[in-house]
Amino acid sequence: MKISLRTILILALAAAPALSSFAAEAKRVIVCTVTTGFRHSSISEAEKTLEKLSKESGAYTIVDFARQPEIVIPKKPNKPKDLAADADDKAKAKHEAEMKHYEAELAKWTPEVDKAAKDAQAAFDVAVKKSLEKLSPANLAAQKIDGVIFANTTGDLPLPDRDGFIKWIEDGHAFMGMHSASDTFHPFRPYIEMLGGEFETHKAQVGADLVAGDTAHPANGGIGSALNLVQEEMYHIKSQDRSKVRALWFMRHDPNVVTEQVFFPVSWCKKAGTGRVFYTSLGHREDLWSDSADLKDRKNPVETSKQYQAHILGGIKWALGLVEGSSEANPDLK
């Protein structure tokens, strides 16, 4: 049976919407917000914002969350530091009050409370491991996951196969990290090498004048050459080889010592094997994640929150291979 050219064109046009829909199918991601170290109060806003951006953009679907178990672990009170030899009367009075509070709390720490704390910790450890099974290479493959987001994770996470997780990324998948994702897995160097940098310290929250390392990169979010924050906790980064990362945002000075002219990394991207890695050290504060005008104690304006969201959405889309952008290192930036 002969098929006319007109028939072929009609069939092609009919199939076009389906093909377009298939091509635009959202990428599948898992978001991890587990912490075994410091836990940021902004994590709940991070989760809500990542869900909002998923729905608004249609670029990715959050298949699952690897979350912190809701188990309260009683904490034994810590004894205040010894009083300095040259302490003044004000410091002495403060120390005396702290010692009285410590002794009162310690008196409540009975053997029963101690046992309850140990039992809660054991249950917590089991639940954390169960939650992180979602990041096993086998589950990532079974769920057809395209990328994993570490949103404000901290500590040495008990992944079921951390070497396999790194290999999974290097085999062509996406890793996206926000803020304290660089304060995670310090002893596990393959993770730090994959990420491209490591949290060293931070000082008081300050305003920050960020400079774009690549205005054309999707993670610039169309913001332009500068991003000015009213207040944020700016991370000092170590263990970074600038010849292996593409700086996306940086500062030309230490944010807490404006007169000190240095290259201060803030956000970057890189390749890990054939996988794509995007990281931003921003995201400590709730008012960067959330664009709600009703957010309590807001310092950064809503407009800045929307810029931050554009920044991370662009980085997520780039890491997932939905948009193009360079990952070539730019170590000559000053």
pLDDT value at position 259?
Answer: 84
Residue 14 lies in a domain: no
| Residue 99: strand, helix, or coil | helix
Residue 89 lies in a domain: no
Token pair listed for 225: 């050459």
The predicted-structure confidence for 285-326, as pLDDT tens digits, reads as follows 999 999 999 999 999 999 999 999 999 999 999 999 999 999
pLDDT value at position 5?
Answer: 40
pLDDT value at position 19?
Answer: 36
pLDDT band at 7 (very low <50, low <70, confident <90, very high): very low
Given a cut of 90, whether residue 277 has pLDDT beyond it is yes
CATH number of residue 283's parent domain: 3.40.50.880
The predicted-structure confidence for 101-158, as pLDDT tens digits, reads as follows 999 999 999 999 999 999 999 999 999 999 999 999 999 999 999 999 999 999 999 9
pLDDT value at position 2?
Answer: 46
Domain count of the fold of the chain: 1
Angle (CA) 210-212-218 rounded to 5° is 125
Range of the domain at 144: 25-73+129-319
Compute CA 29 distance to the chain's CA centroid, rounded to the nearest angstrom: 14
pLDDT value at position 13?
Answer: 38
Structural element, H or E, at residue 229 = strand 226-232
Instruction: Name the pTM for this structure.
Output: 0.89
The CA R_g of the chain, rounded to the nearest whole Å, is 24
Residue 233 lies in a domain: yes
Of how many residues is the chain composed? 334
Residue 78 lies in a domain: no
Q: How far apart are CA 222 and CA 211, in angstroms?
A: 13
Residue 115 lies in a domain: no
Residue 291 lies in a domain: yes
pLDDT value at position 260?
Answer: 80
pLDDT band at 10 (very low <50, low <70, confident <90, very high): very low
Q: What value does the mean pLDDT of the chain take?
A: 93
Residue 97 lies in a domain: no
Given a cut of 70, whether residue 9 has pLDDT beyond it is no
Arithmetic mean of pLDDT, 171-189: 98
Residue 145 lies in a domain: yes
Edge-to-edge order in the sheet of strand 226-232? 60-66, 27-32, 147-151, 174-178, 275-280, 257-272, 246-254, 206-212, 226-232
Burial of 279 (0-12, 13-18, 19+ CB in 10 A): buried
